[in-house]
Structure 1
């Protein structure tokens, strides 16, 4: 099936690993060119070169901190310089947290707000004008099931991802007149390197069975009884970017293996 993505330009934050890299691969397989942003320059460069060579597309790496105004500006400038703008923006960069509300300092709240919310705001402000010139576009926000079904140990993550979900909805209403479709995706359990790292650390003193630990997490939370691969989630991102999803506007989609407990 032709998804109408050939020669489109996609900006992806957190694009050198995990979900972001899987989305990059999925879009590149459909012929889309990429602007990949991440903090670790060496890994980013290597992955950009690999994906470009494998799929015959261009992939421009931008090593920066998207949580800063300067980082967002670098991404916007790179897309404009290399491609004259972008057709797709995937706001994916993010990370989990671990704190209590009573003990977390203001600085931690602010850092997550900058990463999960303001990065998306700044990139929208910078890239939407170019999307208008190009006749439209797609913006997707990678939030989390925790935006509506919080986990007790990461209140800052829960709150900022909820804010990202609301930003997605309000942005969608503002820019649909420009033929720019905005949607939000709330994943459940996705087997990213971060999950593997955490599970390895938690089981280091009890035999190191990180796979068994994650199997227990899946049993507890997901009726499907397993984690998804980043590629499974990326398939949904690619669909929402495509011309097969032209009536999908301002919605939040759960890709969670049944983890959400409400209707």
Structure 2
């Protein structure tokens, strides 16, 4: 299926590894120009080299801390000026932070919201003039399916991600007249550095496939997902193929989360 991404320009935060990098790879393979943002310059260079090797596309690495408003403005400007336009924003920056309520200090609350919620706000706000200039575009905010029905010991991530869902819906209403679609994805258990560390810590005697398919995960599809499976859904929502989809959240969790 042709997603209609040829010649489009995308900016991906948290783009040096994991779902962000995999999304950049899918977008580049579909013909989009990609700028990847992250804090680690070495990781960015390795990611850009991988994108070039696997797709033949030259990605633009931009060292960025999304907790800095100045960094966000600079990153968006560099991407738009380098490629001549901006059509897509993937707000992927963030890490998992999950503890019981009484173990989360004010500093942890503040940092989590600054990184995941305000980071998406800053990047999207900086990108807005360029998206309007391009005649429309797409923003995809990464959240978690747990944001819809938070389990115990899921703070502060479940709260900051739930705020991201509200942000997505409100933005979709405000920006629809500009032809800018805003959607979210709710990530469940997807293979990542963090998941692999849990595997090595909790069940080093199991192979990856055995661990991924362990019934204790309670995933209806019977396994932990791969990053490429998440990236393909994100790329679809960012593409013209999803031209009539906005203001929604799609779970990528093997059926484990609620369909709210």
TM-score of the two chains, using structure 1 as the length reference: 0.92
The answer to whether residue 247 in structure 2 is matched with residue 250 in structure 1 is yes
Aligned-residue CA RMSD in angstroms? 1.8
Alignment partner, residue 222 of structure 2: 225
| SS in structure 2 of the partner of residue 102 of structure 1 | helix
Q: What CA distance in whole angstroms lies between the structure 1 residues aligned with 2:16 and 2:103?
A: 32
Per the TM alignment, residue 225 of structure 1 is displaced from its structure 2 partner at its CA by 1.0
User: What is the 5 A alignment of 1:195-210?
Assistant: 195-203=195-203, 207-209=204-206
| SS in structure 2 of the partner of residue 244 of structure 1 | helix
1:213-263 Cα shifts (integer Å, max 9, x gaps): 5443x5432111101111011111111122221110111111221102466
The 8 Å contact of residues 112 and 156 in structure 1, kept in 2 or not, is answered as yes
1:153-193 Cα shifts (integer Å, max 9, x gaps): 22100000000011011001011100001101112211112
The answer to whether residue 232 in structure 2 is matched with residue 235 in structure 1 is yes
Per the TM alignment, residue 210 of structure 1 is displaced from its structure 2 partner at its CA by 7.0
The alignment of Structure 1 onto Structure 2 pairs a total of residues equal to 259
- Which runs of 5 or more residues in structure 2 are unaligned? none
1:103-151 Cα shifts (integer Å, max 9, x gaps): 3111100000011100111111110111111111000011011111223
- Which runs of 5 or more residues in structure 1 are unaligned? none
User: What is the 5 A alignment of 1:40-189?
Assistant: 40-189=40-189
Per the TM alignment, residue 29 of structure 1 is displaced from its structure 2 partner at its CA by 0.5
Per the TM alignment, residue 86 of structure 1 is displaced from its structure 2 partner at its CA by 1.2
Q: What CA distance in whole angstroms lies between the structure 2 residues aligned with 1:201 and 1:22?
A: 25
The 8 Å contact of residues 183 and 249 in structure 1, kept in 2 or not, is answered as yes
1:57-110 Cα shifts (integer Å, max 9, x gaps): 231101222122233123112213312341000001111113222231111000
| SS in structure 2 of the partner of residue 185 of structure 1 | strand
